[in-house]
Amino acid sequence: MAIIMDGNGRWAKHKGLDRSEGHRKGVDSVRKVVEAAVKAKVKWLTIYAFSTENWMRPDDEVDALMELMVLAVASETPQLVRQGVRLTMIGDTNRLPKDTQDSIKRCMDATKDGENLNLVVAISYSSRWELSEITKAICSDVEKGTISVDNIDDKTISNYLTKRSVPDVDLLIRTGGEVRISNFLLLHAAYAELCFTEC
């Protein structure tokens, strides 16, 4: 499964709150979704937390999101361990502030033995970024002679995906009322069922 957890900021605005309050509420939603996924014996869950386009938001909102990420990851780690959840990340994580990177790494190390659910958080991620990275990696291997241009096919591209060890998405859900997939897992979700919710 994959989820675009959208609408936090709009929810806060509708309630007369700061957008950052909506993002804080989003942490509660993630917790509930992870608990439900474990209970339902879902093996892979990918959550779209922060896209590469989100870097264009106002600095104060981005800073608040990064700070929230550090706090949320630290506070949720013990619960993830108890539930047998293994956390991994995909995306251009080098762009993240060091304290955010460190917090994520500590959580990934602490949850590495989780066997009930593989929770993949897409942060500083977009499919266009991923396709650019794939293209660079393939070109580099062609230059080295590791692969031949004539042998490049869809299987080659799949092998270079940042989620190459993760199964294709069966069900993609987007909350918040928007009916689009916003540059998220375009190749992984090529045959996914799509579900868009108003809430």
DSSP secondary-structure letter at 169?
Answer: P
Catalytic site residue from 8, 18, 54, 159: 54
The better pLDDT of the pair 192, 19 is held by 192
Instruction: Establish whether 6 is a catalytic residue.
Output: yes
Q: Quickly state the pLDDT bin for 164 (edges 50, 70, 90).
A: low
How is residue 137 written in tokens?
């990696």
- What HEC string does 96-118 produce? CCHHHHHHHHHHHHHHCCCCCEE
Rounding to the nearest 10 degrees, give the CA dihedral for residues 28, 118, 126, 169: -110
pLDDT of residue 10: 74
pLDDT of residue 163: 66
pLDDT of residue 86: 97
**Is residue 168 predicted with pLDDT exceeding 80?**
yes
pLDDT of residue 33: 94
Cα–Cα distance, 134 to 106 (Å, whole number): 27
* pLDDT tens for each residue of 108-126: 999 999 999 999 999 999 9
Cα–Cα distance, 40 to 138 (Å, whole number): 38
Strand order in the sheet with 85-90: 85-90, 117-125, 44-51, 2-4, 171-174, 193-196
Residue 18 has a CB neighbour count (10 Å cut-off) of: 15
DSSP secondary-structure letter at 4?
Answer: E
69 contacts 77 by C-beta, under 8 angstroms? no
Instruction: Establish whether 54 is a catalytic residue.
Output: yes
What is the chain's mean pLDDT, rounded? 90
* pLDDT tens for each residue of 87-98: 999 999 999 999
pLDDT of residue 152: 93
Cα–Cα distance, 62 to 55 (Å, whole number): 7
pLDDT of residue 38: 97
Cα–Cα distance, 37 to 32 (Å, whole number): 9
Looking at the chain, list the stretches that DSSP marks H as alpha helix, in order from N- to C-terminal side.
8-14, 19-39, 59-83, 98-111, 127-144, 154-160
**Is residue 176 predicted with pLDDT exceeding 90?**
no
* pLDDT tens for each residue of 40-88: 999 999 999 889 998 998 898 888 888 888 888 999 999 999 999 999 9
